[in-house]
Structure 1
Amino acid sequence: MSGQKPRVSILYCTQCNWLLRAGWMAQELLSTFSDSLGEVALIPGTGGNFEIHVGETLVWERKRDGGFPGPKELKQRVRDIIEPERDLGHTDRAGSDHP
């Protein structure tokens, strides 16, 4: 990698009114990975799509993964790509279900 910080994109369905959900997930990622991400982009789409990519890597797809990710699972999947050695603190602890 050229030292450029990764870009996260969140494709959401405008017909399903998922903008708030996409924005919330972007906020969660930016608050956790503020120094590690170059950009989080919200991409309006249609057809019930909800996809999260880190660069070209598909991290979450609503239809494939059976719904929407919780913040814990999303942060773990993004961390595993951009900073696999990073400890997410309480998010990584067993039994921690609170955001």
Structure 2
Amino acid sequence: MKPMKPTVSIEYCTQCRWLLRAAWMAQELLTTFEDELGAVSLHPGTGGIFHIAIDGREIWDRKARDGFPDIKQLKQLVRDAVAPERSLGHSDRPADHG
């Protein structure tokens, strides 16, 4: 039996009309991590929620972080959780030589 691949969940606020933002982020993650992710799921919510988790572990909360991740930042967070050895090419952070 193959091990289960990680699942990203994105909970977005329907009152704020953030479905398109959530769907675009899901598309970007599925395109970038097509071999590493098992699924990206979208969950409607209310009250200004925009929460992203991998297998139930939070990687982003809009209220706690005072905003949305840019796509480069989100890809880095997902990569660090599901494929830390993987390069993201032009989306990667510069190496820390400090």
**TM-score (structure 2 length as normaliser):** 0.91
Separation in 2 of the partners of 1:10 and 1:56? 10
Separation in 2 of the partners of 1:62 and 1:31? 23
Mark the CA change 1:93 to 1:76 in structure 2 (over 3 Å): closer, same or farther. Answer: closer
Unaligned 5+ segments in structure 2 are: none
* Letter paired with 1:50: F
- Percent of pairs with identical residues: 61
Aligned residues: 93
Question: What SS does structure 2 have at the residue aligned with 1:36?
Answer: coil
1:39 corresponds to: 39
Question: What SS does structure 1 have at the residue aligned with 2:3?
Answer: coil
Deviation at 1:93?
A: 4.8
**TM-score (structure 1 length as normaliser):** 0.90
1:67 corresponds to: 67
1:3-41 deviations in Å (ceiling 9; x for gaps): 210010000000000000000000110010011110100
Deviation at 1:88?
A: 0.5
* Letter paired with 2:30: L
Question: What SS does structure 2 have at the residue aligned with 1:24?
Answer: helix
Separation in 1 of the partners of 2:38 and 2:67? 27
2:54 corresponds to: 54
Question: What SS does structure 2 have at the residue aligned with 1:3?
Answer: coil
2:9 corresponds to: 9
Question: What SS does structure 1 have at the residue aligned with 2:79?
Answer: helix
- The alignment's C-alpha RMSD in Å is 1.1
Deviation at 1:55?
A: 0.5
Question: What SS does structure 1 have at the residue aligned with 2:58?
Answer: strand
